[in-house]
Amino acid sequence: MGETSNLPTAANFVHDVVVEHNATGAFGGRVQTRFPPEPNGYLHIGHAKAITADFELAREFNGVCRLRFDDTNPDTEDASFVAGIVEDLAWLGYPLDHDPLFTSDYFAQLAEWAELLISNGLAYVDDQDGDTISEQRGGYGKPGVESPFRNRTVDENLALFAGMRAGDFDEGARVLRARIDMQHENMQLRDPVMYRIRKEPHHRTGDGWSVYPTYDWAHGQSDAIEGVTHSLCSLEFDSHRALYDWFLDRLSEFAALPFEQPRQYEFARLELTHTITSKRKLATLVADGVVDGWDDPRLPTLRGLRRRGYPAAAIREFCHFVGVSKTNSRHEIELLESFIRTRLNKVAQRRMAVLEPLRVVITNWPTDADGDPIVEYVELNNNPENTEDGTRTAPFSGVLYIEHDDFKAEPPPKYYRLTPGREVRLRGAYFVTATDFVSDDDGNVVEVHVTYDPETKGGNSLDGRKVKSTMHWVSAAHAVEAEVALYERLFAAEVPGSETGDPFDDLNSDSKTLLHGCKLEPALAETAAEEVVQFERLGYFAADQRTPLLFHRTVGLRDEWANIQKRK
């Protein structure tokens, strides 16, 4: 987490609010936030922004931020998500220093407070069904209609709510509603539902409850119980703030709240181009097998990004840079990728790997007494950005693999690489000149013949002669075979669904390419699981967490040659 604090100050209006509060003595200088996911899915990049906003705000003011599971809906929640979220949070850089909190731990307190509101005529049991209640709510600019059950006596309400709690009624038969104002211009205040009946067992409380608090009734009260001061949430809860305050205001009239009343602040959620952050839609992609699970490297889930090789620190830096504001916006995925590259450029070890191999024979390479090509070992830098990472050695011999794209029988304009008659450098080894090539029946080049200049050992010419390009290579006799997964954007459109309204219409059917028979330099066989290395000239690649010799392309290098080709 330390790195983040070294970044320049980014936009954060909540930060400014806290500064203001501290200046005026609000909350006694205390800052407490919370990250409140519902355990009904895995965390994604959008959550990363909320997480950094919550945790970093607390950290900056020496406050505390705690994880609280907002588990008020037994229909959708699952214990496996609880564990997954805790794990992802730790990976992101926020390991828990406390047992996670659960809204379900406050169910008893919440119910007690609900009875307090009932006793003061501020809540009532409604026997109508959802459709009726919804109709009576009215509409924007249209008045609401009061429920015929709105004026039940306190005793009747108390008895009925007790019955709801006892499980006397079926799901949907009754709800507890706040008694506010059916004509309120803010629809949220038109007698919102506080409790509904659910018979589904809860992942923690089991069959202990048959009524469950709604988000609105649970959230502010949970914040108050914990002593949260600044309760951050996304923009769409803006209209809920009045309700958040109403509950707390009323409650504080009848009960002593343990802390000063928390306040809610809304900020814009993080949206990125070429991807989606809807939990429901991500779940659909997983369920339909469009991707290979929640940790598919194409997904914006934290576990997907992790598997893909995105460094947690880079994600944090990105979130910090993006800041906290109220403007609805969508960041270009390229910005995130630039943070990934910047970080990886500093730390990733350089290696040579040939993804689409083309056989190269050095026709003048010397042989030993048995007639076999001799083998030399060349020394290579592990990381030009950090000489302390030292060097390694790679075997070089008379038969090699180079990238198929690195040879063209007929070079296009501005092509610097190998082509008949041209001399190039094989990184760290020798200058070679293409003399000939072999094609198959379809005209595809299958082998290139070159001659090498023994005077250029190590990759430099004695006469100062320059070469246009330096290419990576792998010795055929020593190559380690591997699989490499290449990823493109999961969604072709910048804004998935912008045309048809359905994001899935913009799914890119070619988002994954699995390459077999890739040739790696021997040092790559020792790559640790999850380590990200740079395949020189190609990009950053992450070793799979479970399968050895499987690499995922994290992100490509910036590629000017690709831009040149695109322009044509």
Give residues 247-286 in contact with RNA (rule: CB under 7 A).
268
Residue type, 6: N
Amino acid at 541: F
CA distance 361 to 249: 81
Instruction: Show which residues are catalytic.
Output: 38, 269, 279
The residues, any chain, with a CB within 8 Å of residue 320's CB and separated by 6 or more, are 4, 7, 10, 52, 56
Which CB atom, from 213 or from 297, has the smaller least distance to RNA? 213
> 425: which strand partners?
431, 470
- Report how far apart the first and last C-alpha atoms of the chain are (Å, whole number): 44
Is 393 a binding residue for RNA by CB under 7 A? The answer is no
Kindly identify the residues of this chain, within the stretch 212-251, that bind RNA according to CB under 7 A. 212, 214-216, 218, 235-240
Q: For the window 353-392, what string marks contact with RNA as x by the rule CB under 7 A?
A: ------------------------------xxx-------
Stretch that binds RNA, among 54-62, 104-112, 315-323, 516-524 (CB under 7 A): 315-323
- Asked if residue 149 binds RNA (CB under 7 A), the reply is no
The minimum distance between CB 434 and RNA, in angstroms, equals 14
Can you tell me which of 22, 345, 435, 451 binds RNA, judged by CB under 7 A?
345
Return the residues of window 437-466 that contact RNA according to CB under 7 A: 458-460
What is the smallest separation between the CB atom of 283 and RNA, expressed in angstroms? 12
Contact flags string 27-66 toward RNA, x per CB under 7 A: ---------x-x----------------------------
CB 542 within 8 A of CB 530: yes
- Residue with smaller CB distance to RNA, 210 or 397: 210
Residue in 2, 97, 142, 528 binding RNA, rule: CB under 7 A? 142
Considering the complex, state which of residue 296 and residue 407 has its C-beta at the smaller distance from RNA: 407
The distance of Cα 58 from the centroid of its chain, to the nearest Å, equals: 22
Span from 146-154, 256-264, 330-338, 447-455 in contact with RNA (CB under 7 A):
330-338
Question: Does 165 help bind RNA (rule: CB under 7 A)?
Answer: no
Q: Convert 502-517 to b/e letters by CB count within 10 Å (16 or more is b).
A: ebeebbbeebbeeeee
Q: Which of 1, 154, 313, 557 binds RNA (CB under 7 A)?
A: 557
Question: Hey, is 531 helix, strand or coil?
Answer: coil
Looking at 3, 112, 129, 455, which residue binds RNA (CB under 7 A)? 129
170 binds RNA (CB under 7 A): no
Applying CB under 7 A, among 325, 433, 435, 508 the residue interacting with RNA is: 325
Give how many residues touch RNA by CB under 7 A.
95
Q: What minimum distance in Å lies between the beta carbon of 414 and RNA?
A: 4
23 vs 369, beta carbon nearer RNA: 23
Nearer to RNA, 10 or 257 (CB): 10
Site residues (CB under 7 A) for RNA, limited to 109-128? 128
399-428 residues in contact with RNA (CB under 7 A) are: 414-417, 425, 427-428
Task: Report the distance separating Cα 542 and Cα 539, nearest Å.
Answer: 10
Residue of 14, 110, 133, 319 that binds RNA (CB under 7 A): 133
Q: Per rule CB under 7 A, is residue 328 in the interface with RNA?
A: yes
Q: Which of 7, 335, 375, 438 binds RNA (CB under 7 A)?
A: 335
Return the number of the residue (58 or 378) whose C-beta is nearest RNA: 378
Neighbours of 52 (CB within 10 A): 26
Query: Min. distance of Cβ 445 from RNA in angstroms?
Result: 16
- Contact residue for RNA among 26, 29, 60, 76 (CB under 7 A): 76
Q: How far apart are CA 73 and CA 399, in angstroms?
A: 64
37 touches 301 (CB < 8 A): no
Q: In this chain, which of 72, 157, 221, 527 binds RNA, going by CB under 7 A?
A: 72
As measured in angstroms, the least distance from the Cβ of 478 to RNA is: 19
3-state secondary structure 111-160: HHHHHHHHHCCCEEEECCCHHHHHHHCCECCECCCCCCCCCCCHHHHHHH
Q: How far apart are CA 379 and CA 471, in angstroms?
A: 15
Nearer to RNA, 55 or 102 (CB): 102
- Name the maximum alpha-carbon separation found in the chain: 106
Beta-sheet pairing, 230-234 with 357-362: unpaired
Residue among 48, 559, 66 at smallest CA distance from 321? 48
Token pair belonging to 386: 């950090």
Both tokens of residue 31?
């800052």
Question: Coil, strand, or helix at residue 64?
Answer: strand
Asked if 205 touches RNA (CB under 7 A), the answer is: no
Q: 543 has which bridge partners?
A: 551
Strands 349-351 and 532-535: parallel
Nearest to 378 by CA among 452, 442, 441: 452
Which one among 338, 435, 451, 508 touches RNA, defined by CB under 7 A?
A: 338
**Shortest spacing between CB 370 and RNA, in angstroms:** 29
Three-state SS for 109? helix
Does position 558 bind RNA by CB under 7 A? yes
Residue labelled with tokens 């659910």 = 198
Residue among 100, 73, 102, 76 nearest 89 (CA): 100
